[in-house]
Every structure is written in C-alpha cells, then in structure tokens.
Structure 1
Amino acid sequence: MAVHVRHVIEYVLRLYPAAYRDAHGGEIAATFREMTAGEPLGSRIRQGAGLAAHALRTRLGPGPATPAARVLGLAYPFALAASAAACGLHLLGWYVSIAVSPGPFGARLRADLSGMWGVLLVASLAVFAGAAAALAGRWRVGLPCAVAGLLAFAAGAVVSGPAFGDPVFTPAALVLAAVVLLACPPDRRPERGATGPAGAAGAVIALVIAPRAVLDTHLVPWVSTDYGCWPLLVLATAGVVLTWSHGSGGGRESAAMALACPPLLADACRTARGDTSAVACLAAVLLATAVITPLAGRLGRARHTSR
C-alpha cells in the first residue's frame, strides 16, 4: 500500500508549478503520506482529489482575494446546479423512455443498466447526488462525487453515440465543469447551512427539472419541446437576479454564469441539433441576457441608493 501511495503523490506533485514543487514538494508528500497512512481507499481518494485541486489552483493562480477567485466562488454553486440539472434531465428522459416502453419494465431496466448506458446513468446519478451534497455544504464528500461523475460521463460520452450528446462537445463541456468546480478556492465554497447563492443554485435545479418533467410526461400536450432553451433561460435569469441584487455592473455575474453553463449548453446543443428554430431560440436567449443584465444592475444600484 505504501508503494501505491507513493506513486499517487508523485503524480499529483507533477500538477504543481515546478518552482512551487521544488520549494514545498517534500513537505506536501510527507504530509500526504502521514494523513493517508492506514486510511481506507475512499479517504485516500478524497485526500488525493483535494491535493490535486490545490495543485490546479496554485498553477492557475486564483488566490482567495483575486477577481478570478471571486468569479469562481460565484460560479461554483451554479456550476454544480447546471451539472446536476443536465444530468437530472438525462435521468428524467431515460426514466420516461422506459416507463412508456411496451416491454417489461424489469427487462428494459436490466438492459439499460448494462454496458455503456449503465455507466452513463450511474455517472449522472453520481453527479446529481454529489452536487446536492456539495450545495448542502458537504462539499468534502459531494464535490469529489460530482467531479468523478462528470469525468466518467465525459469518458462515456466519447464512445456512447448521440444519445448522451456530441462525442466531442459534450465531454469537453463536462470536463470544463469539473475544472471550474476544482478551481474554486475552498474558502469560497458555501459551508453547511449557508444560504444566498447556494440556495439560488438549488432553485435553478428545481426550476430546470420540474417543468421538463411536466413536458416529458405530456401533462401540457400543446407544448412539444423547449429546444433546450428553458434550462439556459433559468440559469441566465439567475445571473440577472444576482446582478440586480448586488447592484453591480453584471460583469462578474455574467462571467460566473458563462463558466457554469457548459453542461446545460451541451444538453441544449444535443436537443437543438439540426433545428434552425432551436438555434435561433438559443441565440435569442443569449442576446436578451446580454441586454438585460446591465439594466438589472442599474436598477439594483438605484434601489440601494434610494434606501
């Protein structure tokens, strides 16, 4: 086991910048070996993932007081929400498909859980559960679960065909989401019981999935599809509301939502593939957001000034 731990720390140390590794590598390696000695596999994985995330933050340079850290701190809960919502939509679509299938439910379930479909569905469930735990403040457990699910989904989407997205854009979007989550400094992540952006991110998940559940179960028969626009519209609206609440210029909020949106954008591209109306709808959502966000910031500043 000591050999295995030594190899792990050697790989993780390579993620640090060379100068930082030369100055602190020995101390980091000794601390890691001491903390993981005799620990179960799950604990060693969490410690290694946390160390890898610290290495990436050190290399990318987003210190806790920098503008980049503030953007990442705001993007973090919404990146979790977007990832959970996108995977939740996949799980919802899969459940609806087997529920309406004329074949026996058990047989269809066993068939779907075997092979690559099983990997993708389990990865989606891991992302959803991990994101929910991280948003509840249990990020030491939830964050590694969500990141592992995103990376597993990305790897599976490369070879799974069009059912779970484009084999290039979808994996790239999910890997980017994992990088955003890992790059956020720990002191910018909401603690257990925190409200604010974490609560708003939870509302994003609910507002994305609940209306789609209504559509997919045909409870509203006159609406056939949302072209993937609704999830992006919910996320964009969250950014506008935050801009209004902060009374800011909207730059930080817009950057945070842009960092958070790739999983939902990948799902929208899957839905809108080859449909001119869908592409126009997505473009309209993005254009409207760009126009409304600074206006919301000005209204927010006026509200703060009048108090």
Structure 2
Amino acid sequence: MSDRHTPGNGPLLLRLYPARYRAAHGEDIAATLAEATEGLSRPDRLREHLDLASHALRLRLRIGATDPAGRMLAGAAPVVLGLLAGFCLWGLVPDVLLLVHRILRHQPHAGPVYLFYSAAANLPWILALTAVAVGRWRLARALGLAGTLLGAGSWVVFGPMTVMILFGQPMFWVVLGAVVLLAPPSLLDRSLRTGWEATAVGLPFAALLVASQSTGLWVYFTGSAVLHVYVSWPLLATAAVLLGHLVAEHRDPYRATGAGLTGLLWLLPGLLDDSRPRMLTTWAAGYLALVAFTVALATAVRTIRRTRAKEPADPA
C-alpha cells in the first residue's frame, strides 16, 4: 500500500486498520481521504481524521453497525452523552455565576484561571449536546473527543473539584467518552430521536442538580442531596429510554440492551470503590428491579397492541 496520496497524519491513521483490511482497501482509503480533505480548513481536516480513526478502531474491535457490540454502543451513546452534558452544565453555569457574584462584590476569587479550567472541562460536552439536538452527531463526536481529553487532562492537572470524585477518576471519564466516540455513525447520524433522547436525559439532570444544591442541603448534609440526584436521575432516565426502545415498533434488542446497561455503567466506579457506602449497592439492586419492571411493562404494552391488532374491525 502506498501512502503518497495520504495527507498529513493519514499514513499513521491507516495503520489503525487491521492489516488484512488495510492491505485490501488501503489505497482506496488513502485516495478518498486525500480527496475529502483537499482544501479543507484545519478543524474540518481534524474531523475527517477523527472519522477515519474511529472507523478503523470500530473495524479492529468489531463494533460495526451490524455487530451486536456496535448496536449496543449506539443505544448507550445518547444516554451517556446526555448525562455527561447535564453534569457538565451543572459544573459550568454555577462557576460562572459565582465568579461574577464575587467580582461584583469585590470578594476574593480564583479569577479567569479557574473559569478557564471549568470551561475546558465542561463546555465541549455542553456543545456536543447542542449538536446532537439538531442531528449533528459528527460534530458532537469531535466535541466529545475534546471534552474527554480536556476533562481528563484538567482533572490530572488541577485535581477533582466536583462531586464526580464520588464516582470515578479520569479513566471513567475516558470510558464514557469512548462510548460516544465508538458508536457506529450510521446508527446515529441524522437521527433526531437520538438527539431528543440525549436532550431529555441531560437538561433535567442539570436542572435537578442545580436545584438540589441550591436548597442548602449541600452545605448541611455534605452533598447528600446532590449525591441522590446524581444517582437516581440517571437510573430513572435510563429506564425510561429503555422502555422507549422496548415498545418501539421496529425495536432493536441490542440497542435496548445498550441503553439499559448505561445505568450500571454510571454506577460501576462507585461499586468498585470499597470506601463508598453500601447505598450504591442498594441503588444497583434497585435499578435491576426497575429494569425488570420496565421489561414487564413493555411486554404488557406489546401484548395489548397485538391483541388489538387481531381484533376484527367493528362494522359501521
């Protein structure tokens, strides 16, 4: 395979493909990439390279649009993106308001340095949610990559400065970002339903976190109100998305499974941390019971639909 037609980082990206696939299709991929990136600006070229890299990794990991793992990721990605964006929105907006408040009152404040940290860690995922709300998953993936790297990097440099320390470390942030980045684009792109799912999960999450913090319970009970919202809303929202998948006319059991597993993924770091209270185990057991109820409810709804479809039409 020749790399002479591949611009910039193209040769390196092509090596991400499995050797057999690269040997068979490498020339075509290189020519297509060269044509697609010709005359593009740097951000547009980066998006093309990101698409190429994610496609190569999906082939290597066997998570294509027809593979069970790929369809499960497509079911989980909108929920994960919504949760990340909602959490980031809660992290950024109060930081900005607090900084403005302290500046106006001439009180000590961290100034633009802390605001830059907060924006770098949170803004990309907020913008990604805005992108998927209008069906721009390709842009959302690029923003998600930036959010994953900047969020984890800021965490390493500045240390955990939010409630997220209760549930994970930078690696958990990377895992959640990978779910969004590796979900097959053909199952998400130009899909307004997935954008609605992400928005319906993310915006109420942020609003509930802000409301729970503003009640004063944050001060007097060391964050217990925020912690309960941080745990309960993702589980309830995930169950609602799961129900939507299960009662859909053209349902995909793998996508439904991916959506349902998101709740356990959200709890996993806390469950693996021995220092956390038993409350997390209780939440996990409660979520499994909620999933069982959701499956039973969806089965009942489908049964009623089939029964009504078989009923003869009432003659006028």
Separation in 2, partners of 1:70, 1:203: 21
Separation in 1, partners of 2:260, 2:111: 33
Instruction: Give the direction of change, closer, same or farther, for the CA distance of 1:6–1:249 in structure 2 (3 Å limit).
Output: closer
Aligned to 2:198: 201
Aligned to 1:118: 116
1:259 deviates by 4.4
Equivalent in 207, 210, 218 of residue 210 of structure 1: 207
Instruction: Give the direction of change, closer, same or farther, for the CA distance of 1:283–1:211 in structure 2 (3 Å limit).
Output: same
Matches within 5 A, 1:217-232: 217-218=214-215, 224=221, 225=223, 226-232=225-231
Instruction: Give the direction of change, closer, same or farther, for the CA distance of 1:274–1:223 in structure 2 (3 Å limit).
Output: farther
1:289 deviates by 0.7
Aligned to 1:49: 50
Contact 1:93 1:216 in 2 (8 A): no
Aligned to 2:138: 140
| Structure 1 residue runs without a partner (length 5+) | none
1:212 deviates by 1.8
Separation in 2, partners of 1:250, 1:6: 41
- Tell me the secondary structure at the aligned position of residue 231 of structure 2: helix
Separation in 1, partners of 2:262, 2:293: 21
- Give the number of aligned pairs: 293
Contact 2:132 2:195 in 1 (8 A): no
1:83 deviates by 1.5
1:138 deviates by 1.2
Aligned to 2:25: 24
Contact 1:250 1:293 in 2 (8 A): no
Instruction: Give the direction of change, closer, same or farther, for the CA distance of 1:90–1:44 in structure 2 (3 Å limit).
Output: same
1:301 deviates by 0.8
CA RMSD for the aligned pairs? 3.5
Aligned to 2:314: none
Matches within 5 A, 1:263-302: 279-302=277-300
Q: Given residue 83 of structure 1, which amino acid in structure 2 is its aligned partner?
A: L
Matches within 5 A, 1:184-195: 184-191=183-190, 194-195=192-193
Separation in 1, partners of 2:252, 2:23: 42
1:135 deviates by 3.4
Instruction: Give the direction of change, closer, same or farther, for the CA distance of 1:36–1:222 in structure 2 (3 Å limit).
Output: closer
The superposition leaves residues 178-233 of structure 1 with CA deviations (integer Å, 9 ceiling, x where unpaired) of 221121111210525x23x4323212112211122223233789985325232332
Aligned to 1:159: 157
Separation in 1, partners of 2:242, 2:204: 19
Aligned to 1:35: 36
Pairing 1:128–2:131 present = no
1:170 deviates by 2.5
Separation in 2, partners of 1:249, 1:23: 32
1:133 deviates by 0.8
Q: Given residue 139 of structure 1, which amino acid in structure 2 is its aligned partner?
A: W
Contact 2:84 2:202 in 1 (8 A): no
Separation in 2, partners of 1:207, 1:171: 24
1:123 deviates by 3.3
Give me the TM-score of the superposition, normalised by structure 1: 0.81
Separation in 2, partners of 1:163, 1:221: 15
Separation in 2, partners of 1:144, 1:176: 16
1:35 deviates by 1.6
Give me the TM-score of the superposition, normalised by structure 2: 0.78
Instruction: Give the direction of change, closer, same or farther, for the CA distance of 1:301–1:265 in structure 2 (3 Å limit).
Output: closer
Identity %: 25
Which has more radius of gyration?
2
Contact 1:84 1:127 in 2 (8 A): yes
Instruction: Give the direction of change, closer, same or farther, for the CA distance of 1:123–1:221 in structure 2 (3 Å limit).
Output: closer
Separation in 1, partners of 2:182, 2:287: 26
Aligned to 1:256: 259
Decide which moves more: 182-191 or 243-252. Answer: 243-252
Instruction: Give the direction of change, closer, same or farther, for the CA distance of 1:25–1:88 in structure 2 (3 Å limit).
Output: same
| Structure 2 residue runs without a partner (length 5+) | 306-316
Instruction: Give the direction of change, closer, same or farther, for the CA distance of 1:243–1:42 in structure 2 (3 Å limit).
Output: closer
